[in-house]
Amino acid sequence: MTAAALLALLNDTTTEPRTDLQLEALMLAVSADLPVLLWGEPGIGKTAALTQLADELGLPLTTVIASVHEPSDFSGLPVVGDDPATQGVPMAPPDWAVRLVRDGHGLLFLDELSTAPPAVQAALLRVVLERRVGALKLPPGIRIVAAANPRSSAADGWELSPPLANRFVHLQWTYDHDVVVRGLGGTWPQASLPQLDSSRLTESVAFARRAVCELLAVRPNLVHQLPKNEARRGGAWPSPRSWEMALRLIAFATAASTSREVLSTLVRGAVGDGPGLELLASLDRMDLPDPETLLADPASAVLPERGDLRQVVLDGVVAAVRKRPEESRWNAAWALLVLALETGAPDLVVVPAATLASLRQDDWQVPAEIEKLAGAVSLSARADLVGAR
């Protein structure tokens, strides 16, 4: 009795609201009904995170250790009936799949995926993508999350097969020192489901489709890129299937007003780092103001806060003036450069100012705004000279 009381005290922990980007990414991907694969070293809390996720979702957790099962445990065991020539031989599902169907909802946790041999991985393909176990169809209320250790730290580990890897959103799972210390003290972070704004659903879907389609229209080689390296094939890489997952994640993230860090984690986990970063850059450009709108009313213009985005906007303004050179547009561009100088880093206006000055025609009056920019341009030139020396 005393030992039981002590164990009860040790298990008596609480939770608190706390920002946890990887947990937020996991919650959003599961809410989007996408299979998620957590990559991380042994003992860093992947299973604990899944337990907490199941509690927050109110779903029963079913854990299946993939590496200790046979392929037939996922593809089904043949059962001979009374008249197999007429009725065929049905593939009987395992008991855990029957329980999931009976409950109608649940969280299926496929653990130790990287130690499952290739034959078992092949059998898991239909489970992950089509939600079928033998002849049994899992209901829509089932969510799938898997976990794997890197091959270097997995016992008898295998590289994940490309067909199976391409069916997951890959999340790198690490531990936060402060979270571990505070958790061992009795208080763990609280998982919370993303709150979707019902008024933004249509807008979110349109935004996600536009983002993915505009990128792939100008970068057709990104539609499908099977990595040449075997290890990379076992991770996230772009294909029509994974771009569809990225599109769904963008729509959910937009409807939930998710932070850029979480969106970056999810997009890169679906299509890989390189294509994911290109997609994020494309998303940034979609939110940029139209240069023509800025030139039409520079007095009420609002420029992006981020330096790289501000540089793109200023370059776009100068390019618009070059395309249709008029004195009024030229003067408006100078007003925008002054605004950029007064509200951001001075070095961002140097190149656009030099380019804009070169567009002046002989009969155009020099605007007074140029005097405000002269100091910044001169200082930048001196800095470049010192750097060259």
Tokens of 279: 């997609």
CB 222 within 8 Å of CB 215:
yes
User: Residue range 69-75: average pLDDT?
Assistant: 82
Distances (CA, A) of 22 to 142, 170, 175, 255, 334: 21, 11, 10, 19, 44
pLDDT at position 107 is: 93
Residue 212 phi/psi, 5-degree rounding, is -70, -45
Residue owning tokens 């070059």: 322
pLDDT value at residue 172: 92
**CA atoms lying within 13 Å on the CB side of residue 349:** 27
Mean pLDDT of the chain: 85
The pLDDT of residue 142 is: 92
Token code pair at residue 188: 């763990």
Q: What is the pLDDT of residues 171-181, one digit of tens each?
A: 999 888 888 88
373 against 106, higher pLDDT: 106
Q: How many CB atoms lie within 10 A of CB 343?
A: 11
Q: Is the dihedral of CA 66, 69, 70, 71 positive or negative?
A: negative
Domain boundaries, the chain: 16-79+89-189, 198-286, 291-388
Q: Output the pLDDT for position 229.
A: 85
Whole-prediction pTM value? 0.77
SS3 161: coil
Domain 16-79+89-189, CATH class in plain words: alpha beta
The tokens for 296 are 């039409």
Give the C-alpha separation, 282 to 291, whole Å: 17
> Rounded to an integer, what distance in angstroms lies between the CA atom of residue 82 and that of residue 297?
81
* Residue 327, both tokens: 């004195």
Give the model confidence (pLDDT) of 101-146 as tens digits: 999 999 999 988 888 888 888 888 888 988 988 878 999 889 999 9
How many Å apart are CA 151 and CA 381, to the nearest integer? 52
Question: For residue 342, what pLDDT is reported?
Answer: 86
Three-state SS at 78? strand
